[in-house]
Amino acid sequence: MSSGRPSDHLEGTAIELRGVSRSFGGLKAVDDVNLRVQAGTRHVLIGPNGAGKTTLFALMSGELDVSAGRVSLFGQDVTSWSAMRRSRAGLGRTYQITNVFTGLSVQENLVIAMRGRQGDKLNMFLGTRPDADGSARIDHLLGVCGLEGRRQVRAGSMSYGEQRLLELAIALANEPRLLLLDEPAAGLSPAERGPMADTIRRLPRELTIVLIEHDMELALGLADRVSCLYYGRVIADGTPEEVRSDAEVQSVYFGTASSHA
Ligand SMILES: Nc1ncnc2c1ncn2[C@@H]1O[C@H](COP(=O)(O)OP(=O)(O)O)[C@@H](O)[C@H]1O
Ligand SMILES: [Mg+2]
Protein backbone atom coordinates (compact mmCIF):
# COMPACT_ATOMS: atom_id res chain seq x y z
CA MET A 1 0.00 0.00 0.00
CA SER A 2 1.05 3.60 0.20
CA SER A 3 3.60 3.09 2.96
CA GLY A 4 6.20 5.00 0.99
CA ARG A 5 6.86 8.55 1.95
CA PRO A 6 9.25 10.19 -0.45
CA SER A 7 12.70 9.93 1.07
CA ASP A 8 14.20 13.07 2.51
CA HIS A 9 16.81 13.42 -0.20
CA LEU A 10 14.14 13.31 -2.89
CA GLU A 11 12.57 16.68 -2.38
CA GLY A 12 11.49 18.40 -5.54
CA THR A 13 9.50 17.79 -8.65
CA ALA A 14 10.23 15.03 -11.15
CA ILE A 15 7.84 16.25 -13.83
CA GLU A 16 5.36 19.08 -13.97
CA LEU A 17 2.77 20.06 -16.56
CA ARG A 18 1.34 23.56 -16.55
CA GLY A 19 -1.67 24.38 -18.69
CA VAL A 20 -0.86 21.55 -21.09
CA SER A 21 -3.26 20.90 -23.97
CA ARG A 22 -3.08 18.78 -27.10
CA SER A 23 -5.59 18.76 -29.92
CA PHE A 24 -6.03 16.30 -32.76
CA GLY A 25 -8.01 18.23 -35.34
CA GLY A 26 -11.08 19.42 -33.46
CA LEU A 27 -10.62 16.98 -30.56
CA LYS A 28 -8.97 18.23 -27.38
CA ALA A 29 -7.41 14.97 -26.21
CA VAL A 30 -5.62 16.75 -23.34
CA ASP A 31 -7.27 19.93 -22.09
CA ASP A 32 -5.45 22.41 -19.84
CA VAL A 33 -3.81 19.87 -17.55
CA ASN A 34 -1.87 20.90 -14.48
CA LEU A 35 -0.04 18.01 -12.88
CA ARG A 36 2.93 17.83 -10.54
CA VAL A 37 4.70 14.59 -9.74
CA GLN A 38 6.93 14.79 -6.72
CA ALA A 39 10.30 13.06 -6.98
CA GLY A 40 10.39 9.66 -5.32
CA THR A 41 6.64 9.09 -5.50
CA ARG A 42 4.47 6.61 -7.39
CA HIS A 43 1.79 8.57 -9.14
CA VAL A 44 -1.03 6.69 -10.85
CA LEU A 45 -3.18 8.06 -13.68
CA ILE A 46 -6.62 6.55 -13.96
CA GLY A 47 -9.55 7.36 -16.20
CA PRO A 48 -11.78 5.71 -18.75
CA ASN A 49 -10.63 4.56 -22.15
CA GLY A 50 -10.04 7.57 -24.41
CA ALA A 51 -9.58 9.99 -21.49
CA GLY A 52 -6.20 11.15 -22.82
CA LYS A 53 -3.83 9.20 -20.57
CA THR A 54 -1.54 7.84 -23.30
CA THR A 55 -1.54 11.22 -25.05
CA LEU A 56 -0.48 12.83 -21.77
CA PHE A 57 2.46 10.39 -21.55
CA ALA A 58 3.48 11.25 -25.12
CA LEU A 59 3.46 14.94 -24.15
CA MET A 60 5.61 14.19 -21.09
CA SER A 61 8.09 12.10 -23.08
CA GLY A 62 8.28 14.45 -26.05
CA GLU A 63 6.88 12.04 -28.63
CA LEU A 64 4.11 14.59 -29.19
CA ASP A 65 4.37 18.37 -29.07
CA VAL A 66 2.01 20.28 -26.81
CA SER A 67 -0.58 22.55 -28.45
CA ALA A 68 -0.29 24.80 -25.40
CA GLY A 69 1.40 24.80 -22.00
CA ARG A 70 4.79 23.96 -20.51
CA VAL A 71 6.47 20.73 -19.43
CA SER A 72 9.33 20.70 -16.95
CA LEU A 73 11.52 17.77 -16.00
CA PHE A 74 13.54 17.84 -12.77
CA GLY A 75 13.10 21.59 -12.66
CA GLN A 76 14.13 22.30 -16.25
CA ASP A 77 11.74 23.52 -18.93
CA VAL A 78 11.85 20.75 -21.55
CA THR A 79 8.84 21.84 -23.63
CA SER A 80 10.97 22.25 -26.74
CA TRP A 81 13.14 19.19 -26.11
CA SER A 82 13.00 16.09 -28.33
CA ALA A 83 12.07 12.70 -26.92
CA MET A 84 15.72 11.63 -27.25
CA ARG A 85 16.94 14.57 -25.22
CA ARG A 86 14.35 13.95 -22.50
CA SER A 87 15.37 10.30 -22.45
CA ARG A 88 19.00 11.29 -21.94
CA ALA A 89 17.86 13.54 -19.09
CA GLY A 90 16.48 10.49 -17.30
CA LEU A 91 12.97 9.91 -18.62
CA GLY A 92 12.12 6.30 -19.50
CA ARG A 93 8.86 4.79 -20.62
CA THR A 94 7.06 1.64 -21.64
CA TYR A 95 4.20 1.40 -24.08
CA GLN A 96 0.66 0.13 -23.94
CA ILE A 97 1.67 -2.41 -26.59
CA THR A 98 4.75 -4.54 -25.91
CA ASN A 99 7.90 -3.29 -27.48
CA VAL A 100 10.44 -6.13 -27.38
CA PHE A 101 12.46 -7.82 -30.15
CA THR A 102 10.66 -11.15 -30.14
CA GLY A 103 13.26 -12.87 -32.37
CA LEU A 104 16.08 -12.10 -29.95
CA SER A 105 16.92 -13.60 -26.57
CA VAL A 106 16.20 -11.83 -23.30
CA GLN A 107 19.93 -11.10 -22.96
CA GLU A 108 20.18 -9.70 -26.48
CA ASN A 109 17.21 -7.42 -25.87
CA LEU A 110 18.86 -6.07 -22.72
CA VAL A 111 22.29 -5.62 -24.31
CA ILE A 112 20.71 -3.52 -27.06
CA ALA A 113 18.75 -1.51 -24.50
CA MET A 114 21.89 -0.82 -22.44
CA ARG A 115 23.73 0.33 -25.56
CA GLY A 116 20.91 2.76 -26.22
CA ARG A 117 21.96 4.49 -23.04
CA GLN A 118 25.48 4.87 -24.41
CA GLY A 119 24.05 6.49 -27.51
CA ASP A 120 25.28 4.03 -30.16
CA LYS A 121 23.14 4.48 -33.21
CA LEU A 122 24.13 1.25 -34.96
CA ASN A 123 23.95 -0.97 -31.92
CA MET A 124 22.14 -3.72 -33.83
CA PHE A 125 25.38 -4.31 -35.75
CA LEU A 126 27.73 -4.35 -32.81
CA GLY A 127 26.99 -7.87 -31.61
CA THR A 128 24.88 -8.75 -28.62
CA ARG A 129 27.29 -10.29 -26.11
CA PRO A 130 27.58 -8.36 -22.86
CA ASP A 131 30.92 -7.57 -21.22
CA ALA A 132 31.40 -8.48 -17.53
CA ASP A 133 29.82 -5.25 -16.27
CA GLY A 134 26.93 -5.66 -18.67
CA SER A 135 26.45 -9.23 -17.58
CA ALA A 136 26.25 -8.27 -13.92
CA ARG A 137 23.79 -5.54 -14.75
CA ILE A 138 21.64 -8.01 -16.71
CA ASP A 139 21.60 -10.33 -13.69
CA HIS A 140 20.43 -7.43 -11.57
CA LEU A 141 17.68 -6.42 -14.02
CA LEU A 142 16.45 -9.99 -14.35
CA GLY A 143 16.33 -10.27 -10.56
CA VAL A 144 14.35 -7.03 -10.21
CA CYS A 145 11.87 -8.16 -12.85
CA GLY A 146 11.49 -11.75 -11.67
CA LEU A 147 13.04 -13.19 -14.84
CA GLU A 148 15.92 -15.09 -13.23
CA GLY A 149 17.03 -18.01 -15.38
CA ARG A 150 15.37 -16.62 -18.53
CA ARG A 151 18.45 -14.90 -19.92
CA GLN A 152 18.99 -17.14 -22.97
CA VAL A 153 15.32 -17.65 -23.81
CA ARG A 154 13.98 -16.19 -27.04
CA ALA A 155 11.70 -13.33 -26.05
CA GLY A 156 8.98 -14.37 -28.48
CA SER A 157 8.71 -17.80 -26.89
CA MET A 158 7.92 -16.40 -23.45
CA SER A 159 4.43 -15.83 -22.11
CA TYR A 160 2.87 -12.43 -22.65
CA GLY A 161 3.29 -11.70 -18.95
CA GLU A 162 7.03 -12.40 -19.12
CA GLN A 163 7.33 -10.24 -22.22
CA ARG A 164 5.80 -7.34 -20.33
CA LEU A 165 8.29 -7.92 -17.50
CA LEU A 166 11.09 -7.92 -20.07
CA GLU A 167 9.78 -4.66 -21.46
CA LEU A 168 10.06 -3.20 -17.98
CA ALA A 169 13.63 -4.53 -17.70
CA ILE A 170 14.41 -2.89 -21.07
CA ALA A 171 13.12 0.45 -19.81
CA LEU A 172 15.18 0.08 -16.61
CA ALA A 173 18.33 -0.72 -18.61
CA ASN A 174 18.49 2.96 -19.51
CA GLU A 175 18.72 3.82 -15.79
CA PRO A 176 15.89 6.34 -15.85
CA ARG A 177 15.17 8.67 -12.92
CA LEU A 178 11.53 8.95 -14.00
CA LEU A 179 9.69 5.99 -15.48
CA LEU A 180 6.35 6.23 -17.30
CA LEU A 181 4.51 2.91 -17.40
CA ASP A 182 1.50 2.74 -19.72
CA GLU A 183 -0.82 -0.02 -18.53
CA PRO A 184 1.91 -2.56 -17.70
CA ALA A 185 -0.72 -5.08 -16.63
CA ALA A 186 -2.98 -4.67 -19.68
CA GLY A 187 -3.83 -8.02 -21.22
CA LEU A 188 -2.28 -10.00 -18.39
CA SER A 189 -4.10 -12.92 -16.82
CA PRO A 190 -5.03 -12.60 -13.15
CA ALA A 191 -2.10 -14.94 -12.34
CA GLU A 192 0.31 -12.68 -14.24
CA ARG A 193 -0.82 -9.45 -12.62
CA GLY A 194 0.65 -10.33 -9.22
CA PRO A 195 4.24 -10.70 -10.45
CA MET A 196 3.93 -7.43 -12.38
CA ALA A 197 2.62 -5.57 -9.33
CA ASP A 198 5.35 -7.15 -7.15
CA THR A 199 8.02 -6.07 -9.64
CA ILE A 200 6.78 -2.49 -9.67
CA ARG A 201 6.72 -2.49 -5.87
CA ARG A 202 10.35 -3.76 -5.82
CA LEU A 203 11.62 -0.86 -7.93
CA PRO A 204 13.84 1.50 -5.95
CA ARG A 205 12.06 4.34 -4.18
CA GLU A 206 14.39 6.92 -5.73
CA LEU A 207 12.93 6.03 -9.13
CA THR A 208 9.87 8.23 -9.66
CA ILE A 209 7.08 6.32 -11.38
CA VAL A 210 4.02 7.54 -13.24
CA LEU A 211 1.75 4.63 -13.97
CA ILE A 212 -1.34 4.43 -16.14
CA GLU A 213 -3.42 1.59 -14.82
CA HIS A 214 -6.89 0.51 -15.63
CA ASP A 215 -7.21 -2.01 -12.84
CA MET A 216 -8.36 0.15 -9.93
CA GLU A 217 -7.27 -2.28 -7.20
CA LEU A 218 -3.80 -2.70 -8.66
CA ALA A 219 -3.50 1.05 -9.20
CA LEU A 220 -4.58 2.06 -5.73
CA GLY A 221 -2.37 -0.60 -4.13
CA LEU A 222 0.72 0.91 -5.77
CA ALA A 223 -0.05 4.60 -5.64
CA ASP A 224 1.15 7.32 -3.31
CA ARG A 225 -0.95 9.73 -5.31
CA VAL A 226 -3.65 9.37 -7.95
CA SER A 227 -4.94 11.68 -10.68
CA CYS A 228 -8.10 10.92 -12.60
CA LEU A 229 -8.41 12.08 -16.19
CA TYR A 230 -11.75 12.46 -17.94
CA TYR A 231 -12.19 13.92 -21.43
CA GLY A 232 -8.66 15.28 -21.27
CA ARG A 233 -9.10 17.06 -17.94
CA VAL A 234 -7.85 16.24 -14.46
CA ILE A 235 -11.08 15.88 -12.46
CA ALA A 236 -9.49 14.63 -9.23
CA ASP A 237 -6.02 14.53 -7.72
CA GLY A 238 -5.10 13.25 -4.28
CA THR A 239 -4.33 10.23 -2.17
CA PRO A 240 -5.79 6.89 -3.33
CA GLU A 241 -8.43 7.17 -0.60
CA GLU A 242 -9.40 10.69 -1.61
CA VAL A 243 -9.71 9.86 -5.29
CA ARG A 244 -11.53 6.59 -4.67
CA SER A 245 -14.17 8.38 -2.62
CA ASP A 246 -14.46 11.42 -4.93
CA ALA A 247 -18.05 11.75 -6.12
CA GLU A 248 -17.16 12.80 -9.66
CA VAL A 249 -14.64 9.97 -10.01
CA GLN A 250 -17.21 7.51 -8.79
CA SER A 251 -19.81 8.65 -11.27
CA VAL A 252 -17.61 9.04 -14.36
CA TYR A 253 -14.87 6.50 -13.82
CA PHE A 254 -16.69 3.63 -12.24
CA GLY A 255 -19.72 4.33 -14.34
CA THR A 256 -17.98 4.28 -17.71
CA ALA A 257 -14.74 2.37 -17.42
CA SER A 258 -16.04 -1.15 -17.24
CA SER A 259 -15.22 -2.05 -20.83
CA HIS A 260 -11.66 -1.77 -22.05
CA ALA A 261 -10.37 -3.39 -25.22
N1 LIG B 1 -2.64 10.32 -33.00
C2 LIG B 1 -3.94 10.60 -32.79
N3 LIG B 1 -4.71 11.15 -33.74
C4 LIG B 1 -5.99 11.45 -33.52
N5 LIG B 1 -6.66 11.21 -32.38
C6 LIG B 1 -5.95 10.64 -31.38
C7 LIG B 1 -4.57 10.30 -31.53
N8 LIG B 1 -4.14 9.74 -30.35
C9 LIG B 1 -5.19 9.74 -29.52
N10 LIG B 1 -6.27 10.27 -30.13
C11 LIG B 1 -7.60 10.47 -29.51
O12 LIG B 1 -7.38 11.20 -28.31
C13 LIG B 1 -8.23 10.71 -27.27
C14 LIG B 1 -7.39 10.23 -26.10
O15 LIG B 1 -6.71 9.05 -26.49
P16 LIG B 1 -5.66 8.34 -25.53
O17 LIG B 1 -4.68 9.35 -25.05
O18 LIG B 1 -5.12 7.16 -26.25
O19 LIG B 1 -6.60 7.89 -24.31
P20 LIG B 1 -6.36 6.81 -23.15
O21 LIG B 1 -4.91 6.42 -23.16
O22 LIG B 1 -6.79 7.51 -21.90
O23 LIG B 1 -7.25 5.65 -23.46
C24 LIG B 1 -9.08 9.61 -27.89
O25 LIG B 1 -10.30 10.17 -28.30
C26 LIG B 1 -8.25 9.18 -29.08
O27 LIG B 1 -9.07 8.65 -30.09
MG1 LIG C 1 -4.00 4.57 -23.37
The one-letter code for the residue type at 99 is N
Summarize the confidence of residues 181-202 as an average pLDDT.
91
> Domain residue spans in the chain?
11-90+176-261, 102-175
Q: Whose CA is nearest to atom 24 of ligand 1?
A: 50
**Any idea which ligand is nearest the CA of 45?**
1
Give 52 Cα–ligand 2 centroid separation in angstroms: 7
Give tens-digit pLDDT for 217-232.
788 889 999 999 999 9
Give 92 Cα–ligand 2 centroid separation in angstroms: 17
Mean pLDDT of the chain: 88
DSSP string, 151-219: TTSBGGGS-HHHHHHHHHHHHHHT--SEEEEE-TTTT--HHHHHHHHHHHHHS-TTSEEEEE-S-HHHH
Closest ligand 1 atom to Cα of 232: 14
Fold (CATH) for 11-90+176-261: Rossmann fold (3.40.50)
Give tens-digit pLDDT for 197-253.
999 999 999 999 999 987 777 888 899 999 999 999 999 999 999 998 999 998 886
Give tens-digit pLDDT for 64-101.
999 999 999 999 999 999 999 999 999 998 876 667 89
- In this structure, the residues whose C-beta lies within 6 A of any atom of ligand 1 are 24, 27, 29, 47, 49-55
